[in-house]
Structure 1
Amino acid sequence: MAFEFSCEGYEAFSSLFEPQSKVLCLDNIGREQVAQNYGSTCDVVYNIVEHLYEQRFDLTYPKLHLTSSLSPSELEKRYGKEFRRMLQEMFTVIVCET
């Protein structure tokens, strides 16, 4: 998604939130780079989660699944306290120890 943002800018997000999309999976969040499109920078994962958080009661939006190898405190350090609060409200956390 970061590559698409670099090429298309914020238009890259429009296809993610179309009604025919049922599920959106973001794998290993916290390890991606901040994307740039000309003079604009974007934390793609933060923008996706924030947008779906704002629409969380609209059943036409896709369901979001996330994976990360980072701990909750590491995610908070990377994205901020507000992001962690959104995650706590939106998700059930499953911890897999290896």
Structure 2
Amino acid sequence: MHLRYLPTAEPGLRWMRDYYKRHPQLDIVAASAALATAERTIVNHPESAPRFEDFERVREYHIRGTHFALLYVATADQILIIDVRDTCGQRSVDRLRKFLADQATLFSEK
């Protein structure tokens, strides 16, 4: 099984990186290590995170020591990172709903 960041995750990943650059008192090295640990964990244990909101297939894995989380879907052979979410923000799930509706065949049960 491998992990792939979807284009929809780019803004969230960029936001996380920029957040740590703007706040030098925070440990960017520790945050990067925590992100790598989160990636390994969900590849090895895709069902370990709770479901996100009311989405059947989407899971949210909180990155330890940060206020960010990975929103992802596990398929038969890969983990698809949909977003890197700032859990302190009030981001709408409308974008996620639209993405899943547009990709319904990708996430359908086989």
Q: TM-score, normalised by structure 2?
A: 0.30
In terms of fraction of residues, the more helix-rich structure is 1
Q: Whose strand fraction is larger, Structure 1's or Structure 2's?
A: 2
